[in-house]
Amino acid sequence: MQGPERYLNDLGTQLPCAVDPSRPAILDGAHRALVNYEAYYFCDDATMQAFVAEPYRYTGKVTDPVSMERFVPTKGSPSTSYGGRLFYFSSGETAATFDTNKMKYGMPMTGMREKKTS
């Protein structure tokens, strides 16, 4: 997958660093991490390494690739890597479904919705 960096840079877009929002992110593939269907950018290698060590601390809501529900992952959320991207799941059931057909669920789809909370 080609990243959106060229487009963002052509527009003159500035994004905050995903770990240190007080600093601008560097918009290139070397300073980007992909989690679920979101891209996160970083101001330097150290902030990127902090993110990679514990991404759930910085992602905010992500979209479960199977249920399409938006949720905030935790340290205990089921997760897997596929296609150079980390995926978090809202449940063990959706993680198991993902494992049965990674090609189907590993690509962004339409229909995202908020996870219902009790």
* Residue 98 confidence (pLDDT): 97
pLDDT value of position 112: 47
Task: Read off the pTM.
Answer: 0.84
**DSSP code of 48?**
H
Nearest to 87 by CA among 60, 62, 51, 116: 62
Phi (first) and psi of residue 81, to 5 degrees? -110, 140
Residue 85's DSSP bridge partners are: 82
Confidence of residue 117 (pLDDT cuts 50, 70, 90): low
**Residue 70 near residue 96 (C-beta atoms within 8 A):** no
pLDDT in tens, 40-86: 999 999 999 999 999 999 999 999 999 999 999 999 999 999 988 99
